[in-house]
Structure 1
Amino acid sequence: MSRETAITEEISYTTDNCDVCGDEVAVDDVPGDVIEPQGYAVLLGEGAVTHQSEDAGNWDEEVHFELEKDVSDLPTVSAYITCENCVEGIHGISPETRPYTGTLPPELTAASRQNITSEEVSDGVKALVYLVGAVLVLIFLFALL
Structure 2
Amino acid sequence: MEFRGNGMCFGCGESNPIGLKLRFVSEGDLFYSKYTPKPEFQSYAGVVHGGIVSTLLDEVMANHLLSRGLIVVTAELSVRFIKPVPVNAELKVVSKVKESKGRLSQMEGWIEDGSGQVLARGTAKMMHVGRQQ
Bin of the TM-score, shorter chain as denominator length: under 0.3
Look at both structures and tell me which one has the larger radius of gyration over its CA atoms. Answer: 1
Higher strand share: 2
Higher helix share: 1
TM-score, normalised on structure 1?
A: 0.20
